[in-house]
C-alpha cells in the first residue's frame, strides 16, 4: 500500500487557485484508488511571503520539502516584489530548491492532446515527445556568480561536468525505455541537442551522451544542433521521442514546446533527482489574471499526474501508477470533448469548474 506525504507550495498569483483545483482532483482520485493514501501539507512560500516577512523559503518549509515524498508547487513570484538588488524572488527560490533537493533532471512533456487547437498545421502523426533538461549545471551554474567588470564587460560561465551530464542522459534513456517511442513509427529514441560544432563544453556533453548511449542498445540515439532542433520541433515534431540538453537550451526549447501544443496552461513539468522530486506547471504566477477564477489548472493537474507516475515508478506501486493514469485519462477526455475549457483554450469555464468536470469524468471512465 502506497502512503505518501506531499508538500504543497501554492505560492503566488494564480498559484493558490490552480492548486485548489488540483488538490480537489487529487483527493478524489486518491479516495477512489484502492491502496493509495496521501497526506498533504501546505506551506506559504514565495513572493507574497517575502513581502510580508522578508523570506521567500523559510528553513522549516525547505526542511519539510526535503522530508516529504514529493513536492507539488503551483507558481512562485510577483513582478513588483523585489529583493534589495532589484531581482525577483522566483529565481533565487527555484535555484535554491533545485540545489537543496539535488534535482538534476527537468522533464517537460510536449504532447498535443486531442481537441486542442495548436498553432501547427500538419499534426496528423501526433506530437508526443519529452524535453529533458539538465537542471543544475550549464549556464545556470553561474547563477549567483558571474562577473561585471566596470561598466564595460559582463560574463557568466557555462559548466558541463561528466557526472552531471551522465545523470541527465541516463535519466533520458531510462525515460525512453518506459515510453512508447516517437509518434511517427514507435521508434524509441533519445536525441542529444547541443552546439557541439562550436563550443568545447557542448562537444563534451555530446561525447558523454554517446558514452551513455552505448549502455542502451534497445534505444536509438542521435545528436542535433540546437538551432536545427528549434526548426524541426516546428516542422517535424512527430519524429521525436526524448530530447536531452543543457540547462539554458532546455529552458528555451521547453517554452517553444509548450507553444506548439496549446500553451502554458497545458504544460506540466517535473524536476527529478535521485532522492527527491518536485512537480510544477511550466507557467508562472500570471498576476494579471490572478483571483478571477479564469486560470487554466490543467498544467498543475497534469503535473500531479506526473508526480503519481514518479511515485509509482520509484516505489513499484501500481496504485500510484493507476492514479496517474486516471488523472491523465480524465484530462484527455475533457480536452477531447472540449466541454469545459478556460479562456486560454477558447472557452469560458472557471478554474474550479475544470476541477469539478474532471472529477465527474474520472467517475465515468
- Site residues (vs ligand ATP, CB under 6 A): 14, 18, 77, 90, 264-265, 283-286, 288-289, 295-296, 299, 342, 344
To ligand ATP, the closest distance from the beta carbon of 231 in angstroms equals 23
To ligand ATP, the closest distance from the beta carbon of 124 in angstroms equals 27
**Grid cell in block for residue 75:** 507558481
In the chain the first and final C-alpha atoms are separated, in Å, by: 23
DSSP state of 293: T
For ligand ATP, the closer of residues 14 and 196 by Cβ is 14
Number of separate helices (H) and strands (E) present in the chain: 11, 12
To ligand ATP, the closest distance from the beta carbon of 264 in angstroms equals 4
For ligand ATP, the closer of residues 162 and 292 by Cβ is 292
To ligand ATP, the closest distance from the beta carbon of 63 in angstroms equals 25
For ligand ATP, the closer of residues 192 and 334 by Cβ is 334
Q: How far is the C-alpha of 101 from the C-alpha of 114, rounded, in Å?
A: 35
For ligand ATP, the closer of residues 48 and 296 by Cβ is 296
DSSP state of 74: E
To ligand ATP, the closest distance from the beta carbon of 92 in angstroms equals 13
For ligand ATP, the closer of residues 260 and 264 by Cβ is 264
Q: Is 91 exposed, middle or buried (0-12, 13-18, 19+ CB in 10 A)?
A: middle
Q: How far is the C-alpha of 105 from the C-alpha of 115, rounded, in Å?
A: 30
Can you give the length of the chain in residues? 365
To ligand ATP, the closest distance from the beta carbon of 59 in angstroms equals 24
Regarding beta strands 105-111 and 70-75, do their DSSP bridges make them parallel or antiparallel, or are they unpaired? unpaired
To ligand ATP, the closest distance from the beta carbon of 318 in angstroms equals 31
Q: How far is the C-alpha of 108 from the C-alpha of 97, rounded, in Å?
A: 18
For ligand ATP, the closer of residues 191 and 285 by Cβ is 285
For ligand ATP, the closer of residues 267 and 321 by Cβ is 267
For ligand ATP, the closer of residues 317 and 344 by Cβ is 344
Sign of the CA dihedral with 285 first, then 290, 291, and 293 last: negative
Instruction: Specify whether the CB–CB gap between 213 and 191 falls below 8 A.
Output: no
Q: How far is the C-alpha of 360 from the C-alpha of 354, rounded, in Å?
A: 10
To ligand ATP, the closest distance from the beta carbon of 3 in angstroms equals 30
Which residue spans within the chain are E strands per DSSP? Answer: 2-11, 36-42, 70-75, 105-111, 128-134, 147-149, 153-155, 189-194, 220-225, 242-245, 268-272, 277-281
Cβ-closest position to ligand ATP: 284
Q: How far is the C-alpha of 68 from the C-alpha of 9, rounded, in Å?
A: 12
B/e letters for 183-211, b = 16+ CB within 10 Å, e = fewer, are beeeebbbbbbbbbeeeebbebbbebbee
To ligand ATP, the closest distance from the beta carbon of 249 in angstroms equals 17
To ligand ATP, the closest distance from the beta carbon of 344 in angstroms equals 4
Amino acid at each position: 500500500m502506497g502512503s505518501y506525504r506531499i508538500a504543497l507550495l501554492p505560492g503566488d498569483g494564480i498559484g493558490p487557485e490552480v492548486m485548489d483545483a488540483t488538490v480537489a482532483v487529487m483527493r478524489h482520485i486518491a479516495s477512489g484508488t484502492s491502496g493509495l493514501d496521501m497526506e498533504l501539507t501546505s506551506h506559504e512560500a514565495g513572493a507574497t511571503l517575502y513581502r510580508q516577512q522578508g523570506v521567500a523559503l523559510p528553513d522549516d518549509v525547505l526542511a519539510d520539502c526535503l522530508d516529504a515524498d514529493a513536492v507539488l508547487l503551483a507558481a512562485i513570484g510577483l513582478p513588483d516584489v523585489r529583493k534589495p538588488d532589484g531581482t525577483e524572488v522566483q529565481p533565487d527560490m527555484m535555484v535554491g530548491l533545485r540545489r537543496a533537493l539535488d534535482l538534476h533532471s527537468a522533464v517537460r512533456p510536449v504532447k498535443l492532446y486531442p481537441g486542442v487547437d495548436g498553432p501547427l498545421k500538419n499534426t496528423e502523426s501526433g506530437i508526443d515527445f519529452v524535453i529533458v533538461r539538465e537542471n543544475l549545471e550549464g549556464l545556470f551554474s553561474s547563477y549567483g556568480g558571474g562577473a561585471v567588470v566596470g561598466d564595460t564587460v559582463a560574463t557568466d560561465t557555462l559548466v558541463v561536468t561528466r557526472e552531471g551530464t551522465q545523470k541527465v542522459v541516463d535519466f533520458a534513456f531510462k525515460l525512453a525505455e518506459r515510453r512508447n517511442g516517437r509518434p511517427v513509427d514507435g521508434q524509441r529514441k533519445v536525441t542529444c541537442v547541443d552546439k557541439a560544432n562550436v563550443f568545447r563544453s557542448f562537444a563534451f556533453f555530446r561525447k558523454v551522451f554517446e558514452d551513455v548511449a552505448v549502455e542502451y542498445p534497445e534505444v536509438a540515439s542521435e545528436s542535433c544542433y540546437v538551432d536545427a532542433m528549434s526548426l524541426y520541433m516546428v516542422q517535424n515534431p512527430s519524429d521525436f521521442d526524448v530530447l536531452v540538453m543543457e540547462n539554458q537550451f532546455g529552458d528555451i526549447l521547453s517554452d517553444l514546446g509548450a507553444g506548439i501544443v496549446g500553451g502554458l496552461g497545458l504544460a506540466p513539468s517535473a524536476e527529478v533527482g535521485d532522492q527527491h522530486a518536485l512537480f510544477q506547471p511550466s507557467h508562472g504566477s500570471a498576476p494579471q489574471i490572478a483571483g478571477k477564477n479564469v486560470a487554466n489548472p490543467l498544467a498543475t493537474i497534469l503535473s500531479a499526474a506526473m508526480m503519481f507516475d514518479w511515485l509509482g515508478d520509484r516505489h513499484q506501486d501500481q496504485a500510484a501508477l493507476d492514479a496517474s493514469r486516471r488523472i491523465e485519462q480524465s484530462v484527455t477526455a475533457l480536452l477531447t470533448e472540449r466541454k469545459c475549457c478556460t479562456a486560454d483554450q477558447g472557452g469560458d469555464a472557471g478554474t474550479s469548474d475544470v476541477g469539478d468536470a474532471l472529477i465527474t469524468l474520472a467517475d465515468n471512465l
